[in-house]
Structure 1
Amino acid sequence: MSVPRGLILMCGAGQDPRGSGMTTKIIYFMVNGKLEQAELGADCSAAEVKDLFRVAAEAGPHHILKMYNTNGSVVNISPQLEANSVDSYYRLEVVASDLQSVAMPPELDSMEYRLRHLENKVTEDVGKTPDIICELKSQVESFKRKLESVEHLSWMGLFRYDCDHQLSKSSQKAKMPQLSVQEERQRVHMKFTNMSSLQVTEEVREHLKTPIFDNWQWEEAEMLVLLQVMYTDLDFLTAFNIELEVLQNFLFEVYCHYNNIPFHNFQHCFCVTQMMYGLIWLTDLRNKLGRIELLIMLTSALCHDLDHPGYNNVYQINAQTDLALRYNDISPLENHHCAVAFGILAKPECNILKNLTTEQYKHIRGGMIKCILATDMARHNEILNKFKVMQPVFDFTNKDHKEVLMKIMVKVSDISNEARPMAVAEPWLDCLLQEFFNQSSLGS
């Protein structure tokens, strides 16, 4: 059975379930018309479970979540949720507190805030929380649970989603206000930030290493989380002393520098990076190349099409664009992608290389420039012929051999759609044709 779309998430004291022997249970649920999967650790708290489902439903702190079983009965969202199967998934609905619906009573928010403030103050003074405050907190939480379990709230206009009577996608889009580029980026950033602290389970981690991975199932924020997983699971954070927040800033800034065009967009960037990541594991390059070479290849794949305008090098040169003039008709796009990448890394809050030595930085910069410039198809035969010559006598200790291999790996990842399952690859053909059509309409 294929993995349900969306992140498969793990909660429970921030522990890594891999090899820990920790008892877990799988919860399948439908939200926003999408089948999701959550993995609950045995020591999950009620708050962790609620937070997990809030993230999955893109709900804010003032939304009420309601979970239904297959019989349509409301079930309590708690660590006691019973494990189920894909065929008996729960249905998750979100009660919103935005302008289109009724908010949680402000008095309730105020009471929770005052209780937290009082609890903190008393704890500082006497070292523990008095029973009376615990009882008050319990009453507030009980009242919120009652709101969540009320069967018929629709008359109050509280449902944000109605899974049984969903509008068609076209009518939904017509009614939803179009977000500006900046607003959309803020939305993605908020969701990425909320999701980035949740653990991605071993099942998704293993699936991420395969060439059959389906990019079409994932949203931008989810892809950012998976890119974070790639960097952490290859142990780059430890090896190069990369701070997690800096990595997250870097990944988000990369996302912001991909344009909304049919093919050379952030989703293409993710696909190329995911294929590179998969090849690193499938060919056991972790044990054949140094960690620094792996970082060069993965980051080159991530940055290889930054700020692509949707018009190829032939167009740039024929139209004598600013890029062609700036780079003297020599791989204008690829030179631009490199420049944008190191412009991002020049920002202190995004510089994942800031804790490296000068020599390490020069090595990574030189390697990334070579790998990204290698994606210019005008150089395809040159690079391929070099690789064919050295292939029979290939030596991983030979610097020149490794350099050509790294270029080949980035090139292979860049054009890897054809190696994916047809259902994954075919939509990319339509995207590419649309981009070619857009260019041809300009007369080049």
Structure 2
Amino acid sequence: MTAAVCHDLDHPGYNNVYQINARTELAVRYNDISPLENHHCAVAFHIFSQPDCNIFSHFDPETVKQIHQGTIALILATDMARHGEILDLFKQKMENFDFTNEEHVSCLKMVLIKCCDISNEVRPMEVAEPWVDCLLEEYFKQSDREKAERLPVAPFMDREKVTKPTAQIGFIKFVLIPMFETVMKLFPQIEEVMVQPLRESRDRYEELKQIDDAMNEVQKKKSENLIMGGKKKKTGQLI
């Protein structure tokens, strides 16, 4: 719970890729290794170091050490650059998962905080969609800055190349559903409350994409007709 509350503390709104490419203070400080996640940890522990905020003051030193280590491991696990690595490790544990095995449970915790971190599309559309709009605006703000600073721009963050449906379809199909379906093997009860809403969200965005594609096709034909009409006028042909 502590890691979940603290996992994005003092987030500047520009992701690790930007931090590293722009050679920001955070990237330099943390040697390009999960700069944001390391910063979130540092801010959390700075808060806990203040007497009136130290929620662990009554724990013994060894327990506090374990809490700190666990919090660091979980917050660092939210770096999406490690997504494939962590999910593959969890899949290996899933072949013979053992709740009495500390290593297995630690891996499960990392996957669960990842699920929490990117679970927006699990929620009802009326709750999830405004947050998608906010996220896309954050992406566009970053890509605009990257263009201005002549830094590499990720296609999924470029306002000229991505739409809400295209952004969400890929993320839901290739990141969210595979991860939640893997967790579902351990906790079958999440299918109805988590996995099914993800599938419905995927279907809804695919329908929206089809509508967008159809509208774009109509617009394209209109533009082509206007061009052809203009050419015929120039050659004196009747239209």
CA distance in 1, matches of 2:66, 2:132: 36
2:106 corresponds to which residue? 403
Q: How many residues align?
A: 147
Q: Does 1:343 align with 2:46?
A: yes
Structure 1 residue 437: Cα displacement = 1.2
Q: Does 1:375 align with 2:92?
A: no
2:10 corresponds to which residue? 307
CA distance in 2, matches of 1:409, 1:354: 27
Cα offsets for 1:129-182 (capped at 9, x unmatched): xxxxxxxxxxxxxxxxxxxxxxxxxxxxxxxxxxxxxxxxxxxxxxxxxxxxxx
1:291 corresponds to which residue? none
* Paired letter, 2:90: F
CA distance in 2, matches of 1:395, 1:365: 24
Tell me which of 32, 40, 56 is aligned to 1:353: 56
CA distance in 2, matches of 1:402, 1:358: 23
Tell me which of 120, 140, 149 is aligned to 1:437: 140
Secondary structure of the 2:95 match is helix
Q: Does 1:323 align with 2:26?
A: yes
Structure 1 residue 369: Cα displacement = 0.1
RMSD: 0.7
Tell me which of 416, 421, 424 is aligned to 2:119: 416
Q: Does 1:390 align with 2:93?
A: yes
1:428 corresponds to which residue? 131
Give the number of the structure whose alpha-carbon radius of gyration is greater. 1
Structure 1 residue 392: Cα displacement = 2.6
| Residues 178-189 of structure 1: pairs in structure 2 closer than 5 A | none
Determine what percentage of the aligned residue pairs are the same residue.
63
* Paired letter, 1:420: R
CA distance in 2, matches of 1:441, 1:379: 26
* Paired letter, 2:110: K
CA distance in 2, matches of 1:380, 1:426: 23
* Paired letter, 1:426: E
* Paired letter, 2:135: L
* Paired letter, 1:394: F
* Paired letter, 1:364: I
* Paired letter, 1:413: C
CA distance in 1, matches of 2:15, 2:9: 13
Q: Indicate the structure with greater helix content.
A: 2
Secondary structure of the 1:442 match is helix
CA distance in 2, matches of 1:365, 1:394: 25
CA distance in 2, matches of 1:346, 1:441: 38
CA distance in 2, matches of 1:396, 1:343: 33
CA distance in 2, matches of 1:402, 1:359: 20
State the TM-score, normalizing by the size of structure 1: 0.33
CA distance in 2, matches of 1:336, 1:395: 33
Regions of 4+ moved over 4 Å: none
Q: Which runs of 5+ in 2 are unaligned?
A: 152-239
State the TM-score, normalizing by the size of structure 2: 0.61
Higher relative contact order (CA closer than 8 Å, sequence separation 6+): 2
Q: Which runs of 5+ in 1 are unaligned?
A: 1-297
CA distance in 2, matches of 1:358, 1:391: 33
CA distance in 1, matches of 2:95, 2:123: 28
CA distance in 2, matches of 1:427, 1:416: 14
CA distance in 1, matches of 2:95, 2:122: 24
Q: Indicate the structure with greater strand content.
A: 1
